[in-house]
Amino acid sequence: MLEKNYLMPGAALTMLLDHLRNRTLAVETVPLHDAFGRILAVDIIAQEDLPGFARSIVDGYAVRAVDTFGAREQMPAYLTLAPEILMGTTPSFVLGKGEAAPIPTGGMLPEGADAVVMIEDSQVVSNTIVEIMHAAAPAENVIQRDEDIRIGECVLEKGQRLRPQDVGALAGLGIPSVEVFRRPIVAIVSTGDEIVPLGEPLTMGKVRDINSFTLRGLIQQQGSVALWKGIIRDDFESIRAVVAEALAESDMVLIVGGTSAGVRDMSAAVINAFDGPGVLFHGVAVKPGKPLIGGIIGSRPILGLPGHPAAAAICFANFIRPALDMLSGEHEKRTFPRTVPARMAKAVASVAGREDHIRVRLDEGQSGLIAVPVLGKSGLITTLVRAHGTVAIAGPKLGLDAGEQVDVRLFEP
Amino acid sequence: MLEKNYLMPGAALTMLLDHLRNRTLAVETVPLHDAFGRILAVDIIAQEDLPGFARSIVDGYAVRAVDTFGAREQMPAYLTLAPEILMGTTPSFVLGKGEAAPIPTGGMLPEGADAVVMIEDSQVVSNTIVEIMHAAAPAENVIQRDEDIRIGECVLEKGQRLRPQDVGALAGLGIPSVEVFRRPIVAIVSTGDEIVPLGEPLTMGKVRDINSFTLRGLIQQQGSVALWKGIIRDDFESIRAVVAEALAESDMVLIVGGTSAGVRDMSAAVINAFDGPGVLFHGVAVKPGKPLIGGIIGSRPILGLPGHPAAAAICFANFIRPALDMLSGEHEKRTFPRTVPARMAKAVASVAGREDHIRVRLDEGQSGLIAVPVLGKSGLITTLVRAHGTVAIAGPKLGLDAGEQVDVRLFEP
């Protein structure tokens, strides 16, 4: 059956993101050693050249390249030894015509020198003379003063999530602290009369809270901060009060649970009890995750997630993660999804008009990876525990054939 | 030219890993909300069933399936209404023959019931009678008491790095804390007379410390703890003393810098000044990263990394990361490298007998991604900043052709 009343997932996500595009979080300054993983709030313009002087990249002799032209093993150039250049110091002399100065890797070229001959291509013949058996081109074995970074250059752009090497480049420029966006705070409001918090005794008919633990990890993995608001009874006024608190303390609110029809409607009603625009969509043509609710209160995104653990996690990957990436201030970069190619171990049926996310385990096959569907209801957390990732079946498709080539989207480690 | 005296990278890594295979770090207990990303030190055996009772996965009527056999829209079954089942409670009655009890999603099935009919397939016809228009199979719309996890089952194995869903499964079992391996501590010993720490004025001929910042991020990304031991002068005794300290405080030591031949030898001499086995290899047929030194002191790995920033980072990815994964106690699982397919924008030459790691930027082409080599010396940190990942050219290959299909190994975000 076609799920006629449900929005297609792409449309639902676009609707949500359109409301977040112009939001920016506050900026804070962090010392560079805490900057890894944070998102730049400003462009970084180099205030100096890197390395700042011409350096040798080999152990050898600093020379004027022109003095070595034509040199080869059978016909070396004979150069006069200039003083040795010590690591980390400025040479106190100018290299004259016909001279060669011993220089270590990383050493500073003296004025007058424009190339370095590797030690392997030289031979000292006396206290004053060295044979050069290789014609050095100008700039050979040299890093120029601005070859890594040039003063005035934009090294990193606003919106860049700082990778280890980006932090390294900032250190190279002597930047001790950077302005980054504050990490988004995501409030988790768990609901359900049947949910018992970890550590409390379980009575028959009740289940323990799984979702707030899974979601906390997913939020941390994205680089945001999770704020758990506890388990709230299925009562409109109680949920409304905690959501009001959560809105004041966070940048995004997740109401989790309420998988039964009556309670689902309650989450939507709670969202609409605040300032608009309120509920944007209620129900998405995706499996698992169909009951997903997306809304905006003022400028804050608020989502109603199904209580089934696998459904909640898959909704996170497909809707909340992209929304959180945008909210974090990360620029809309080209993204490279973490997928691996595999072949389906068996056929899986789907329904046209609905996007299915099949959980799969990856096994090693004779000619590549085999994706084995991990079957089971979306209420089973172990369907995620036993899986390495998911395979999406696009809306119009009627399923996957056995042996069909698919891209498996891996769970993050 | 063939790099005859250098070990091939695969052989070097194997040599290093062989010394780490039987090392285990101490075990510590962490509360479940801090367990995300940690590595289990024990198998987790379920002490209870999950969910622990038969639950409905829809809103509807709990029934004896046999009472609905043959029911269809044109010929419904008429069942007697039993008391409504409330969420989170144990039904106080046994469902009799011919009865149907209203049940919410997640509600507990009463004794006697073995299936649930969806509310959409029913119609209440009086205060006491409900029409059932669908024949329910036994177990239909029900999660059995041990369907997610069965008591005695091994849910997660020792060596598993806990993903968000794994933590969720532990929460579902009511496990409040877990035994995990202590995070490895990796000491960074920066060396070089030319290196100035961040925040100190730079004089001509000196450069700022880049590597300790890049390495700190790479270590954190892996899940370990970085311990920076400061910048040490190029002096055997000073380096030896700091390495001795670092060995006492950490699980792995990285001596960084010393790219010039004399100092390289000093790192190796320092390693050999301690208990054996000492230096395992000195120089690897890989570019960048050729001067890499691998050693073991007692049972601790110690590596000498080239000071060129791109070389140090690529050595980390290819040698230190796998060693650290093993040291962390992570089981030797099948790994799914984070790669994307692309075509080379232009030809790149390599040398047979050496494994080259070409940094590339990814551009969107007409038929997929284009890998554009980011050329530049391994001393330039921006060759990493401008790149999205690397392409490896295996030892025997002489290079890559323009348009050749490659797998780009993405940098982690």
Kindly report, residue by residue over A148-170, the tens digit of the pLDDT. Answer: 999 999 999 999 999 999 999 99
Total-model pTM: 0.93
Per CATH, domain B9-25+183-327 is 3.40.980.10: yes
Which CA distances in Å does B7 have to A77, B281, B286?
35, 7, 9
Chain A with chain B: Cβ pairs closer than 8 A: 287
A37 neighbourhood in chain B, CB within 8 Å: 217, 220
DSSP string over B327-342: HTT---------EEEE
Q: A336, B87: Cβ pair inside 8 Å?
A: no
**A15-52 residue pLDDT tens:** 999 999 988 899 999 999 999 999 999 999 999 999 99
Q: Does residue B338 carry a pLDDT above 80?
A: no
Pairing outcome for strands B142-143 and B154-156? unpaired
Helix (H/G/I), strand (E/B), else coil: B100: strand
Q: What pLDDT does residue A22 have?
A: 83
The answer to whether the Cβ–Cβ distance between B174 and A380 falls below 8 Å is no
* Between residues B331 and B405, the one the model is more confident about: B405
Q: What is the CATH code of the structural domain delimited by B55-143?
A: 2.170.190.11
Least confident range of A140-144, A171-175, A183-187, A367-371: A367-371
What are the Cα distances from residue B287, in Å, to A144, A340, B390, B410?
A: 21, 27, 12, 18
The answer to whether the Cβ–Cβ distance between B52 and A199 falls below 8 Å is: no
pLDDT at B395: 80
Q: What is the pLDDT of residues B36-74, one digit of tens each?
A: 999 999 999 999 999 999 999 999 999 999 999 999 999
Q: A112 with A64: CB under 8 angstroms?
A: yes
Q: Is the pLDDT of residue A397 over 90?
A: no
Q: Identify the top-confidence range among A74-83, A335-344, B285-294.
A: A74-83
> At B257, phi and psi to the nearest 5?
105, -160
The two three-digit tokens of residue B15, written as one number: 């040599």
pLDDT (tens digit, 9 = 90+) per residue, B176-197? 999 999 999 999 999 998 999 9
A142 touches B379 (CB < 8 A):
no
Residue B333 has what pLDDT? 63
Residues in chain A closer than 8 A to B147 (CB atoms): 376-377, 380
Q: Is residue B250 a contact partner of residue B187, using CB atoms and an 8 Å limit?
A: yes
Contact A379 B57 (CB under 8 A): yes
**Cβ atoms A369, A340 nearer than 8 A:** yes
Of the options 3.40.50.720, 3.90.105.10, 3.30.70.1880, 3.30.470.30, the CATH number for the domain spanning B27-50+156-181: 3.90.105.10
Q: In percent, how much of chain A has pLDDT > 70?
A: 96
**For residue B262, what pLDDT is reported?**
64
First to last CA, chain A: 36
Q: Which residues of A touch B336 (CB under 8 A)?
A: 340, 362, 388, 410
Q: Give the list of residues 6+ apart from residue A4 with CB closer than 8 angstroms, or none.
A: A353
ipTM of this predicted structure? 0.92
DSSP for residue A86: P
The number of helix segments (H) and strand segments (E) in chain A equals 8, 28
Note the pLDDT of residue A2.
41
CATH of A27-50+150-181, one of 3.90.105.10, 2.40.110.10, 3.30.930.10, 3.20.20.150: 3.90.105.10
**Please, which pLDDT band fits residue B263 given cuts at 50, 70 and 90?**
low
Give just the sign of the alpha carbon dihedral B37, B42, B47, B49. Answer: positive
Q: What is the pLDDT of residue A64?
A: 98
The predicted model gives B154-171 an average pLDDT of 96
- Closest Cα partner for A402 from A364, A356, A345? A345
- Lowest-confidence region among A5-14, A56-65, B55-64, B217-226: A5-14
Between CA B174 and CA B151 the distance in angstroms is: 13
Closest CA to B360 of B320, B322, B321, B400: B400
Q: What is the CATH number of domain B339-410?
A: 2.40.340.10
Q: How much is the pLDDT for A331?
A: 85
B235-238: which pairs have CB atoms within 8 A and are 24 or more residues apart? B236/B266, B236/B269, B236/B270
Provide the mean pLDDT of chain A: 93
Among A32, A220, A381, beta carbon nearest to B169: A381
Q: pLDDT value at position A154?
A: 97
Residue B244 in contact with residue B300, Cβ under 8 Å? no
Buried b / exposed e across B212-232, counting CB within 10 Å, b at 16+?
A: bbbbbbbbbbbbbebbbbebb
* pLDDT at A181 > cutoff 50: yes
pLDDT tops 60 at residue B379: yes
CB contact under 8 A, B204 and A90: yes
In terms of Cα–Cα distance, which of A203, A181, A189, A197 is closest to A267? A189
What is the reported pLDDT for A338?
78
| Domain ranges (residues) in chain A | 9-25+182-327, 27-50+150-181, 55-143, 339-410
Which is higher by pLDDT, B4 or B131? B131
Cβ within 8 Å, pair A165-B36: no
The pLDDT of A376-383, averaged and rounded, is 91
- Pairwise CB contact (< 8 Å): A206 & B88: yes
pLDDT at A413 over 80: no
Where residue B331 falls among pLDDT bands split at 50, 70, 90? confident
Q: Considering CB atoms only, which of A162, A199, A381 is closest to B165?
A: A381
The fold of the A9-25+182-327 domain, in CATH, is Molybdenum Cofactor Biosythetic Enzyme; Chain A (3.40.980)
State the Cα–Cα distance between residues B213 and B198, nearest whole angstrom.
10
User: pLDDT, tens digit, for every residue of A239-279?
Assistant: 999 999 999 999 999 999 865 566 667 899 999 999 989 99
The 10 Å CB-count burial string (b at 16+, else e) for B174-196 is bbeebebbbbbbbbbbbbbbbbb
Mean of pLDDT values over A77-81:
98
CA B167 vs CA B38, B39, B41, B177: distances in Å: 10, 11, 14, 10
The mean predicted confidence, pLDDT, of chain B is 93
A168/B210 Cβ within 8 A: yes
- Look at residue A1 in the predicted model and tell me its pLDDT: 37
Nearest CA in chain B to A193: B88
Q: pLDDT per residue over A290-302, tens digit each?
A: 999 999 999 999 9
Q: What percent of chain B has pLDDT over 70?
A: 96
Read off the pLDDT band of B2 (50, 70, 90): very low
